[in-house]
Amino acid sequence: MSWEFDPPFDAAHRAALEAGKPLLYVCPPAGWALVPLLARLPAPRGDGPTVLVLAPDSPDVADVGAAVRSQDALQPSHAVTGGARTDRLLRTTPFHTLVATPADVLQLARRAVLKLDQIRHLVVAWPEVMATLGHDTTLETVLAETREAQRLIVTTDERHDALHDFLTRHAHRAPTLIAAAPPAAPTLTARYAVVEESRRGHAVRELLDQVNPERAFVWDPVPGRADRWAALAADPTVRVGSDPGDDPVALAIATDLVSAAALSALAAAAADVIVLVRAGQQPYFERLVRTSRPFRLPSEADRARDRALELRSRVRARLGEGGLDGELLTLAPLFDEHDPALVAAAALALAGLEPEPRSETPAFVRLFVTVGKRDGARPADLVGALLNEVGLPKTSVGRIEIRDAFTLIEVRAEDADRAVRGLTGTTVRGRRVTARPERR
């Protein structure tokens, strides 16, 4: 079963784009799904940015920015990942297209380096996610400042509860293009791993090493990223591409969030499917499948334990060989002065064989959770969710800081992925929440 992403732009959709009228575009929350829409935008004209693409958070900005860079007609473009750097670049570089969060757009406008009244085409990517993150007020401010711009609204589901009033105000009677939507009744089963974009290449190799399939297919929806998988070229049992074809394999790895059609094609071609997603994409992935199971990739803590096990194995093997009389004579006086275990540890350290040093204080990371004071959330609610719903031990939970629209929670680093997966989709004070690592 083959897969091809070719949304059906009909005459009404093309007419809306050409006339500068609103359009509603339904697709997964992934940059590659925006490419067909971006490819049909009119070429920017004038000085300074005239095309503005709004994305929910920094990882989405980077993802969508890559999709924008694939379109020559929209160049030069810039994805905003740092306010000060963007401020400097906008004063010296005539960008045509800008990708940013609503908050970053307002900051740039206040600094007078971005003129919102010059924006002619405004792409709002996944406003329902922005609402979940508490960015709806900021988004409305940007929309108010870009009244003359064409509205292109991108959503995962045009029937989403958080979108009804928004679409009435900004895309009333706009033609709707269903590029890809989740199924009404999912039937497939697949596994997933939460992996940030920067680690995808490494994660694919780890998956192949752990599962060790006889034959595997690595799915990448963007043909231009073939160089990313050059390290796999030497393995004749692994094939990379965007079309799984009809040749069956033991394992298919999707290197980005899939659509329902792409997942169906992968499931038809492979006995096992594992999808790599960002934390914010997990809720959408779970709408695609009847049953989802997490695949846990090795963490730094796992690797440290492996090194310690290997070291103990080497010491046991040396003990089995015998012939340690000289070493015992050297160390015997120290056994009377110190605990023999400490003497052995010091000997290992001097030999350069010690495992990686570990801090006596557990490392904690902060998670961003989309529920706050205005929802009536209390620290006890979040602790209860982590202990009862996620199953973390109490010692893994640190400081909880509740803000107006969100909460920051400290958890042990080794439990962060588990906490993100467990909290996302749970209900706190009647509100379904999303969790992700804090991005400072």
Looking at residue 302, what is its pLDDT?
55
Contact yes or no for 263/291 (Cβ under 8 A)? no
Contact yes or no for 152/143 (Cβ under 8 A)? no
* For range 289-306, the mean pLDDT: 74
Residue-wise pLDDT tens digits, 386-413: 888 888 888 888 889 998 888 999 998 8
Q: 264 falls in which pLDDT band (50, 70, 90)?
A: very high
Does one domain contain both 120 and 30?
A: yes
Does the pLDDT of residue 119 top 50, yes or no? yes
Residue-wise pLDDT tens digits, 153-193: 999 998 888 888 999 999 888 999 999 999 989 999 999 99
Q: Under 8 Å CB-to-CB from 378, ≥6 apart: which residues?
A: 402
CA 316 to CA 336: how far, in whole Å? Answer: 23
Q: 415 falls in which pLDDT band (50, 70, 90)?
A: confident
Looking at residue 299, what is its pLDDT?
59
**Exposed/middle/buried for residue 336 (C-beta within 10 Å: 0-12, 13-18, 19+):** exposed
Residue 184 domain-assigned (yes or no): no
Looking at residue 359, what is its pLDDT?
47
The phi and psi torsions of 51 (rounded to 5 degrees) equal: -115, 125
Does one domain contain both 93 and 196?
A: no
Beta strands 189-194; 291-294: pairing state? parallel
CA 56 to CA 436: how far, in whole Å? Answer: 13
CA 241 to CA 227: how far, in whole Å? Answer: 11
Among 7, 54, 30, 101, which residue's Cα sits nearest to residue 285? Answer: 30
Task: Look at the chain and count its residues.
Answer: 440
Residue-wise pLDDT tens digits, 267-294: 999 999 999 999 889 999 999 999 888 8
Comparing 35-39, 86-90, 113-117, 211-215, the range with the smallest average pLDDT is: 86-90
Q: What is the DSSP string of 314-380?
A: HHHHHHHH---HHHHHHHHHHHHHS-HHHHHHHHHHHHT-PPPP--SSPPEEEEEES--GGGT--HH
Residue 370 domain-assigned (yes or no): yes
CATH number at residue 198: 3.40.50.300
Tell me the torsion sign for CA atoms 320, 321, 327, 328.
positive
CA 357 to CA 346: how far, in whole Å? Answer: 13
Does one domain contain both 238 and 168?
A: no
Looking at residue 383, what is its pLDDT?
87
Looking at residue 355, what is its pLDDT?
53
Q: Which two three-digit tokens encode residue 246?
A: 């009809």
Does the pLDDT of residue 295 top 90, yes or no? no
CA 258 to CA 222: how far, in whole Å? Answer: 12
Does one domain contain both 156 and 38?
A: yes
Residue 322 domain-assigned (yes or no): no
User: Among the residues of 147-277, which ranges form H helices?
Assistant: 164-170, 200-211, 260-269
Beta strands 97-100; 51-54: pairing state? parallel
User: Among the residues of 78-173, which ranges form H helices?
Assistant: 83-92, 102-110, 127-132, 136-145, 164-170
* For range 295-304, the mean pLDDT: 66
Angle 173-178-184 (CA atoms, 0-180°, nearest 5)?
110
Does one domain contain both 229 and 288?
A: yes
Does the pLDDT of residue 380 top 50, yes or no? yes
Q: Which of 178, 210, 231 is the last residue in one of the domains?
A: 178
Does one domain contain both 107 and 121?
A: yes
**Exposed/middle/buried for residue 395 (C-beta within 10 Å: 0-12, 13-18, 19+):** exposed
Does one domain contain both 153 and 213?
A: no
Among 182, 425, 187, which residue's Cα sits nearest to residue 291? Answer: 187
Specify the DSSP element, H or E, that contains 311: helix 300-321
Convert 3-14 to b/e letters by CB count within 10 Å (16 or more is b).
Answer: bebebebeeebe
Strand partners, 44: none
CA 275 to CA 45: how far, in whole Å? Answer: 39
Contact yes or no for 20/150 (Cβ under 8 A)? yes
In the block, which residue shows the tokens 């529920």?
371
Beta strands 397-402; 407-412: pairing state? antiparallel
Residue 100 domain-assigned (yes or no): yes
Does one domain contain both 45 and 103?
A: yes
Tell me the torsion sign for CA atoms 122, 127, 133, 136.
positive
Contact yes or no for 57/29 (Cβ under 8 A)? no
The rounded radius of gyration (Å) of the Cα atoms in the chain is 26
Residue-wise pLDDT tens digits, 204-216: 988 998 899 999 9
Does one domain contain both 19 and 141?
A: yes
Does the pLDDT of residue 44 top 60, yes or no? yes
Residue 333 domain-assigned (yes or no): no
Does one domain contain both 170 and 209?
A: no
Q: 2 falls in which pLDDT band (50, 70, 90)?
A: low
Does the pLDDT of residue 334 top 50, yes or no? yes
Does one domain contain both 276 and 394?
A: no
Residue 265 domain-assigned (yes or no): yes
Does one domain contain both 280 and 418?
A: no
Rounded to the nearest integer, the mean pLDDT of the chain is 87
Q: Tally the domains of the chain.
A: 4
Residue 397 domain-assigned (yes or no): yes
Among 387, 213, 416, 423, which residue's Cα sits nearest to residue 299? Answer: 416
Query: Which amino acid is it at 348?
Result: L
* Residue range(s) defining the domain that contains residue 348: 300-317+338-358
Q: 82 or 285: which carries more pLDDT confidence?
A: 285
* For range 340-359, the mean pLDDT: 68
Among 387, 423, 32, 61, which residue's Cα sits nearest to residue 220? Answer: 32
The reply to whether omega before 76 is within 30° of 0 (cis) is: yes
